[in-house]
Amino acid sequence: MAKTIKEINEKIKKGKAVVVTASEMIDILEQKGSQAAAAEVDVVTTGTFGPMCSSGAYFNTGHTSPKIKFGGGRVTLNNIEAYTGFAAVDICIGASAVSYDDPKNKVYPGEFNYGGGHVIEDLVAGKDIELKADAYGTDCYPGKELKTKININDINEAVLFNPRNCYQNYNIAVNLSDKIIYTYMGALKPNLGNANYCSAGQLSPLLNDPYYKTIGIGTKIFLGGGIGYVSWWGTQHNPTVKRNDLGIPLTPAGTIAVTGDLKQMESKWLRGTSMLGYGPTLTVGIGIPIPILNEEIAQYTAIRDKDISAAIVDYGTAYPKGINESIGRATYAELRSGTIKISGKEVPTGSLSSYSKAVEIADTLKQWIEKGEFLLTESVASLPGAESDYKLRSFKVKE
Amino acid sequence: MYAKKIVLHFPHSLVNKPILHKLSRDYELEFNILRASITPDEEGLLVLELKGDEPDYKNALEYLKKEGVKVQTLAQDVIMDEEKCTHCGVCVPMCPVLAFHVEPETKKVIFIQDECIACGVCVDICPMNAMEVKI
Ligand code: SF4
Ligand code: SF4
């Protein structure tokens, strides 16, 4: 009894769609079986809220009088470097951008209390952002210097554009060396002092649609508290890695690029983040609805933490050297228990991605759909899939 | 009778010295070990309640400092800013005294202030800057 997205949208408009979160779907499937679950449930909502470094935003500030061309010059926003290589007044800022004056890791480990991710959070919160610009001046854009404040409500466009979000599964980071290290996976204590992980597990969008059967280019999503779209596959998309019987990749696999109007987002779901000794980033809230078109998709959305396992990787030596090997595996059920066993040692676990916020996102999206405020979209093109020949390459440095 | 709670940070080289024994023998202080652990950078950490005469207590502190032990009195409070905390949980395994608990049902991170010894680790590592030292 297959359904179409069009039929589901008709039900949503009438307020009759059955919408559940991915964690609720687990129980439904267990109690009723996949056939009945597929017939009953129309949409499953997913969610994730974790640091996603490959995030950024672009703005068009509007033109001043006299005009100035930022392109080719230099712009800072709250002292953080922005990118000016697009025309006159389009500027771009990445979550990992740091101020030139920041001591960075010269005072080790660097604090990175304010960076690109924080600028994005402050802008979305409606705070004034200080803009400083140096330009070289042209006949048509004579301005050479500008120091002013911009506000999200006054500029033309403000668009979140994230080249890589929502990693489908991720490493568990540990440190086998004998001194503490500071990574994008958090501080890692020496000699297996802790094991950090970063995925919403059974609530994570791409783990609930492991073969990208419904999530594709054009899919409408919850993005930063507002509405966004999957705009492309993400950078480092790697769909052809090994998978388990349920289709769950054993190592980091698919990713998506997402975009949306920042003006309708909330700073609560776009949080500037400081990774000690590593740098600033942005914690992004994403929720993706999965239309239950058939029994197979129903089964995918009932994935449980105990069915998802991740590779344990040593960030003390192997990772920085680019050695691709894991020292073991653990499931998300084990990770969430608080400790995992590695080489006979009980290692306490820490999560970078917030499960309770992921639940809140999946619940919010569920409410939007139930109220008829959010309709599903048909994707316009698929992401490169597990059967494709799409692969992640490493960088072979030429002599 | 003079009683104080203090935190002692031992550098690696001192971990095996009989320092506590001296506190009771030479300074006649009574001590109560509230907590003992090893911090991420492998420094020893002891939370003690010391009782005795005030001059003895002061001399004992001098002795500890001379030995290279960092002494911290528990006058500071660390607080969690509930607005900023996202309940990620990355602080949980970092706290030397396990002052963060994960609520099993909701997976929310609960900060038990009574257990905190104000070591400052979470203040440094919290990616959301949600942990603050209040003096
Ligand atoms: S690391 Fe910070 S944000 Fe995360 S749970 Fe701990 S206090 Fe909250
Ligand atoms: S300051 Fe933070 S890490 Fe240190 S004891 Fe208190 S809660 Fe634990």
pLDDT in tens, A37-61: 999 999 999 999 999 999 999 999 9
For the segment B101-130, the average pLDDT, to the nearest whole number, is 93
Residues B60, B122, single domain; the answer is no
Whether this model's ipTM surpasses 0.95 comes out as no
Closest approach of chain B CAs to the CA of A332, in angstroms?
A: 13
For the segment A87-91, the average pLDDT, to the nearest whole number, is 97
Q: Which ligand has its closest atom nearest to the C-alpha of B77?
A: 2
* Containing structural domain, residue B52: 2-76
Q: Does A356 touch chain B (CB under 8 A)?
A: yes
- Sequence-distant (6+) residues with CB within 8 A of A387 are none
Residue A373 has pLDDT above 80, yes or no: yes
Q: How far is CA A141 from CA A70, A136, A144, in A?
A: 9, 9, 8
Q: Flag if B94 and A336 touch (Cβ within 8 Å).
A: no
pLDDT digits (tens, 9 = 90+) for A120-151: 999 999 999 999 999 999 999 999 999 999 99
Reading the block at residue B11, the tokens are 């550098």
Residue B75 has pLDDT above 70, yes or no: no
CA trace torsion A23, A26, A29, A31 (10° rounding) = -110
Residues B14, B44, single domain; the answer is yes
Q: Does any ligand 1 atom lie closer than 6 A to the CB of residue B87? A: yes
Q: Does any ligand 2 atom lie closer than 6 A to the CB of residue B48? A: no
Residues B50, B111, single domain; the answer is no
Last residue of one domain, picked from the residues B28, B57, B76: B76
Q: Flag if B90 and A348 touch (Cβ within 8 Å).
A: no
Residue B31 has pLDDT above 90, yes or no: no
Residues B103, B70, single domain; the answer is no
Closest approach of chain A CAs to the CA of B96, in angstroms?
A: 11
pTM for this entry: 0.90
Look over chain A and give the mean of its residue pLDDT values, rounded to a whole number: 97
Q: Flag if B106 and A356 touch (Cβ within 8 Å).
A: yes
For the CA of B80, the closest atom of ligand 1 is 7
The protein residue whose alpha carbon is closest to atom 6 in ligand 2 is: B116
**Residue A1, pLDDT score:** 67
pLDDT digits (tens, 9 = 90+) for A165-174: 999 999 999 9
pLDDT digits (tens, 9 = 90+) for A231-273: 999 999 999 999 999 999 999 999 999 999 999 999 999 999 9
Contact in structure between A45 and A289 (CB atoms under 8 Å): yes
Report d(CA A12, CA A116) in Å as an integer: 38
Contact in structure between A250 and A231 (CB atoms under 8 Å): no
The more confident residue out of A86 and B116 is A86
pLDDT digits (tens, 9 = 90+) for A108-120: 999 999 999 999 9
pLDDT digits (tens, 9 = 90+) for A300-312: 999 999 999 999 9
Q: Flag if B87 and A354 touch (Cβ within 8 Å).
A: yes
Contact in structure between B50 and B90 (CB atoms under 8 Å): no
Residues B30, B86, single domain; the answer is no
Q: Does any ligand 2 atom lie closer than 6 A to the CB of residue B40? A: no
Q: Which active-site residues of A does the annotation give?
A: 140
pLDDT digits (tens, 9 = 90+) for A280-328: 999 999 999 999 999 999 999 999 999 999 999 999 999 999 998 999 9
Contact in structure between B37 and B97 (CB atoms under 8 Å): yes
Residues B57, B102, single domain; the answer is no
Q: Does any ligand 2 atom lie closer than 6 A to the CB of residue B121? A: yes
User: Is residue B26 within a helix (H) or strand (E), and if so which, with residue range?
Assistant: helix B19-27
Residues B68, B87, single domain; the answer is no
In chain A, where are the structural domains located? 5-52+161-382, 60-160
**Residue B14, pLDDT score:** 77
For chain B, what is the domain count? 2
Residues B68, B7, single domain; the answer is yes
* Candidates A181, A336, A345, A356, partner chain B, best to mutate (most B CBs within 10 A): A356
